Amino acid sequence: MTVLRETGWAKINLALHIRARRPDGYHEIETLFAFVDAGDALAVEVADADRLILDGEFAEGLSDGADNLVRRVLALIRERYGAERVPPLAIRLTKRLPVAAGIGGGSADAAAMARLLRRHFLPEIGDAPLARLVAPLGADIAACVASATCLGTGVGEQLSAAPELALSGTPVLLVNPRQPVATGPVFAAWDGVDRGPLFTGADLRAQLFASRNDLQRPAIAQCPAIVDMLTELGALKPWLARMSGSGATCFALFDAPAGRDAAAARLVASHPHWWQLAGALR
């Protein structure tokens, strides 16, 4: 039987500026999304009934029920396009990315499921309609559908291309202390100060150096290990090191794979309990 495969690419926020708290409790943001060439794995087969199996290092404690985002995407697409278009499926989701980690997680998995269903059962759906369909399931799911570097505004669902950010192939190292950080409390703890918009300019590195992650301070209050990770990464000579999303994962960008790999080896020796992912930006 044919196995259909897709990857939930890890997401990072190169920058994340919080501009305002909205009356509905959400936040107006400006963020630069980028994606790593590795992540969670989906393996899907046509079956006699729907089922979801979770495995992998970070599967423990996750729901395999109707509230799982992969299953919610399946239900949403069947509701929109008809159950006769998408047969019953046996789904295996291998969780390689830590959860509550600021790198997409469930959103990346949901987007991967949407892409897989489109590719194999509903090829007429364009990129934009697919992103609009699944966007209500999470603020960053639309960005994860494309899994390409872009600018996100609104609550992160309004996307525009960022061709000046020619980052594809950039070596990247992700590090997480294996401590989950809840997104809601981190956003709620933002101090309400608008520190200005994303800097835009011709010089990529100047643009990124002038940006920031406004959730870093409240995330550190919840997970002090973020300071240790940023300190360690900064000492390994990347050209940029920052926390992603609402934490606790931090990333470092390097000029060459050798620099990334040497940094990864140093961290394995000094902090063997930290989770790592070495890859390149898509």
10 Å Cβ neighbour count for 46? 15
Q: Is the pLDDT confidence value at 231 over 90?
A: yes
Q: Is the pLDDT confidence value at 204 over 80?
A: no
- Of 1.10.540.10, 3.40.1130.10, 3.30.230.10, 3.90.550.10, the CATH number of 4-161 is 3.30.230.10
pLDDT band at 207 (very low <50, low <70, confident <90, very high): confident
Our CA angle for 13, 117, 59, nearest 5°, is 55
Residue ranges per structural domain of the chain:
4-161, 171-280
The correct answer on CATH 3.30.565.10 for the domain covering 171-280 is: no
| Mean pLDDT, the chain, integer | 95
Mean pLDDT computed over 2-30: 96
Q: Is the pLDDT confidence value at 137 over 80?
A: yes
pLDDT at residue number 201? 67
**Amino acid making up residue 88:** P
pLDDT at residue number 146? 93
Q: Is the pLDDT confidence value at 200 over 70?
A: no
Predicted structure pTM score: 0.95
Where is pLDDT greater, at 135 or 162? 135
pLDDT-wise least confident of 22-26, 36-40, 161-165, 185-189: 161-165
pLDDT tens digit string along 59-80? Answer: 999 999 999 999 999 999 999 9
Mean pLDDT computed over 188-210: 87
pLDDT band at 84 (very low <50, low <70, confident <90, very high): very high
Interatomic CA distance for residues 227 and 111, integer angstroms = 31
pLDDT at residue number 163? 76
Interatomic CA distance for residues 19 and 76, integer angstroms = 31
pLDDT at residue number 206? 85
Where is pLDDT greater, at 134 or 163? 134
Contacts of 248 (CB under 8 A, 6+ apart): 101, 102, 176, 177, 179, 180, 181, 219, 223, 225, 226, 229
Mean pLDDT computed over 112-130: 96
Where is pLDDT greater, at 183 or 199? 183
Catalytic residues: 11, 140
